[in-house]
């Protein structure tokens, strides 16, 4: 797979891939990094917002 990097487009076989996730009440996030010889050359992230947190009173806004 071709990856866009700070060095131009590269085949992912040349790169070290690192991935991670964050899952809490506010978001579900995945990220992917590609490294070349110890240098970060690509990082993307995808944040899925779960909801607006509740405010004082228990709702987003009240009349």
Residues lying near other proteins in the complex (CB under 8 A)? 4-6, 22, 26-27, 29, 31, 33, 40-53, 55, 57-63
Minimum gap (Å) between residue 6 Cβ and other proteins: 5
Which residue's entry shows tokens 């506010």? Answer: 26
Cα–Cα distance between 44 and 31 in angstroms, integer? 6
Minimum gap (Å) between residue 54 Cβ and other proteins: 9
Cα–Cα distance between 57 and 63 in angstroms, integer? 11
| Closer of 13 and 56 to other proteins (Cβ) | 56
């Amino acid at each position: 797979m071709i990856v866009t990097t700070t060095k131009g487009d590269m085949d992912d076989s040349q790169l070290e891939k690192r991935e991670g996730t964050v899952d809490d009440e506010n978001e579900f996030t995945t990220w992917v990094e590609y490294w070349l010889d110890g240098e970060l050359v690509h990082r993307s992230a995808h944040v899925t917002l779960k909801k607006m947190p509740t405010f004082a009173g228990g709702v987003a806004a009240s009349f």
